[in-house]
Structure 1
Amino acid sequence: MSFRIKADLFYDVYASSTCIFNIQALGNSYNQKIISESLEVAPNLPFKQFSLPDSKIRFITVQANEFVPFQICYQGEIEVKFKTISKKSLFKNTSIFELDNKIVPYLSPSRLCPSDKLMKLAFKLFGYLQSDIEKAVAVNEWIFNNVDYVPGTTDASTSAYDTLNQREGVCKDFAHLGIALCRALNIPARYFTCYATNINPPDIHACFEVYIGGQWIIFDPTRLSNLSSLVKIAHGKDGSEVAVASLFGNASCTYMNIECENLNGDLNPVYSSDDFFISY
């Protein structure tokens, strides 16, 4: 399927600042292809683009001047080939010993996903389940049923532990809690940011992924998104690694416009309720 995406961000700048953005679609992979894209920064400020080693995740660094408001606009047309896997194919657990080295870091606690603090609760709630896929599904359902989606109740420093105690948050908080609970159950998990077609009000969305059966499987405990209509931006240990904007100095976002349009209209494939979407 093809999608038209756009991110338009406006900032006021109160002191010279360096701003790092993560708003571009993930670079070309076996199931996500960039058909066209453009990036503009106005006024004409110095900026550069970079990716981390061995990564298709892309960042933009803008050097902003004191008292000079600026706007960054990214838009593109992206083709995504969604792949699914049946639940019955995921019942065999992968031992930690057999994990690829690049997957192992996603078992460890991180700043916003302190899974070591949630181990007792995770095993009490989900430890009786036999397979990792059953545990991940149960974690996803538990968060949806026990945490309220309330905009404006958290900030960039809110951790999964905080969300568990407050029982409210937004998509990033739901994702962080899912990651922390899965890692506490010895299931590799990571943070996933994307453009999504049916988020209201439109915004960059966050889900989480778990590594089961040699595949990264996507979960959205908010149930706000359609998993067959996501354009991936990035993944990381938690949201701090792939934040939409990281500001170093003194600047503030004054307006944000996010768009994601499915260019296929109603010609969407039908997926089984027993299928899980594979990330990349």
Structure 2
Amino acid sequence: MIIEIDTRLDYKVAPDSPALLQIEAASLPDQRILETTTDARHASVFVRIPAEDGVGERSWIVAGDRLRCDYRARVEIDRPEVELRALAPTPPRDLPGEVVKYTLGSRFIVPELFEPFVSTRFEGLRGGAFAAAARDWIERELAYVPGASDGTTTAADTFLKRQGICRDYAHLMIAFARAGGIPARMVSVYAPSVEPPDFHAVCELYLAGAWHLVDPTGMAGAGEMVRIGVGRDAADIAFLTVKGESELVKQSVSVRRG
């Protein structure tokens, strides 16, 4: 599948404030970059650095008092659909060292808070069977409500309110997974079926010795997601972090099948 991406950012920022940008599709074995251009107009500094776990890149950018960046790409996805329920758990002793951190708590996710609920609600389920049941529960029980959360909302807040946006769905899925013994990380993606079009937050679960994409909102399938970056939670995958004051002027994200 070919995915075409067109992203445009325009922000007012405090003069010469450094900003950390992560909007470019990652080059990975299951997604090949066919064409790409990044135009950061008027930037005096544009320095690329590796992102988390070697998935994609971040860029430091300094652009006076106006940060403008246009990104376009064509990406070919070659990722077979996998039946989540059929995937076996990976014993803790077999986890690669770099995966272990994704079994632990993070800024927005405290797995221990969810262990009583998970052990009761999904009793007897393990591995992919548990993950599928947890995903289905979240998609069924939560309401997608823009504006229902903000940058401080935790997985526990979402569990209590039963509403949120994609980042909140992903946080709760990761919390359930980690509470159930499955390493889980947050992933920023582009996907053509997301409404409204935007940077989309999903998760990856480590099952059967590999990472597998899961969207608990139900909007995107694994075979059409273009990964941008990964991390412990939303703090690690932000598309733009400005070290100073900033004000949105205009932003658009277009993702379509080629």
Name the TM tier (shorter chain): over 0.9
Partners of 2:200 and 2:137 lie apart in 1 by 20
Superposed displacement of residue 213, structure 1: 0.8
Is 1:5 aligned with 2:1?
Answer: no
Superposed displacement of residue 94, structure 1: 2.1
Residue 269 of structure 1 is matched in structure 2 by none
Q: 1:17 touches 1:251 (CA, 8 Å); kept in 2?
A: no
Superposed displacement of residue 233, structure 1: 0.7
Deviations 1:81-112 (A, max 9, x none): 0123345752x332111212121111001111
Superposed displacement of residue 208, structure 1: 1.1
Residue 57 of structure 1 is matched in structure 2 by 56
Q: How does 1:35-50 map to 2 (within 5 A)?
A: 35-50=34-49
CA RMSD of aligned residues (A): 1.7
Is 1:216 aligned with 2:214?
Answer: no
In the comparison of the two structures, how many residue pairs are matched?
A: 258
Superposed displacement of residue 69, structure 1: 2.2
Superposed displacement of residue 162, structure 1: 1.0
Q: How does 1:90-239 map to 2 (within 5 A)?
A: 90=87, 92-126=88-122, 128-239=123-234
Residues 241, 221 of structure 1: alpha-carbon distance in 2 compared, 3 angstrom cutoff: same
The residue matched to 1:172 in structure 2 has which SS?
Answer: helix
Partners of 2:103 and 2:195 lie apart in 1 by 32
Task: Give the partner amino acid of 1:187.
Answer: I
Residue 32 of structure 1 is matched in structure 2 by 31
Task: Give the partner amino acid of 1:176.
Answer: H
Deviations 1:104-142 (A, max 9, x none): 11100111111122111111211x133211110111111
Q: 1:10 touches 1:71 (CA, 8 Å); kept in 2?
A: yes
Gaps of 5+ in 2: none
Superposed displacement of residue 32, structure 1: 1.3
Q: What is the identity percentage for the equivalent residue pairs of Structure 1 and Structure 2?
A: 28
Task: Give the partner amino acid of 1:125.
Answer: R
Aligned partner of 2:242 among 239, 243, 247: 247
Superposed displacement of residue 53, structure 1: 7.6
Residues 172, 70 of structure 1: alpha-carbon distance in 2 compared, 3 angstrom cutoff: same
Superposed displacement of residue 49, structure 1: 1.3
Superposed displacement of residue 222, structure 1: 0.9
Which one is further off, 13-22 or 97-106? 13-22
Q: 1:16 touches 1:249 (CA, 8 Å); kept in 2?
A: no
The residue matched to 1:163 in structure 2 has which SS?
Answer: helix
Residues 104, 228 of structure 1: alpha-carbon distance in 2 compared, 3 angstrom cutoff: same
Partners of 1:188 and 1:224 lie apart in 2 by 22
Q: 1:16 touches 1:250 (CA, 8 Å); kept in 2?
A: no
Superposed displacement of residue 211, structure 1: 0.9
The residue matched to 1:118 in structure 2 has which SS?
Answer: helix
Q: What's the TM-score once normalised by structure 2's chain length?
A: 0.94
Residues 77, 184 of structure 1: alpha-carbon distance in 2 compared, 3 angstrom cutoff: same
Q: 2:85 touches 2:128 (CA, 8 Å); kept in 1?
A: no
Superposed displacement of residue 224, structure 1: 1.6
More helix per residue: 2
Gaps of 5+ in 1: 264-280
Q: 1:197 touches 1:226 (CA, 8 Å); kept in 2?
A: no
Q: What's the TM-score once normalised by structure 1's chain length?
A: 0.87
Deviations 1:167-201 (A, max 9, x none): 11100100000001110111111101110101122
Task: Give the partner amino acid of 1:98.
Answer: D
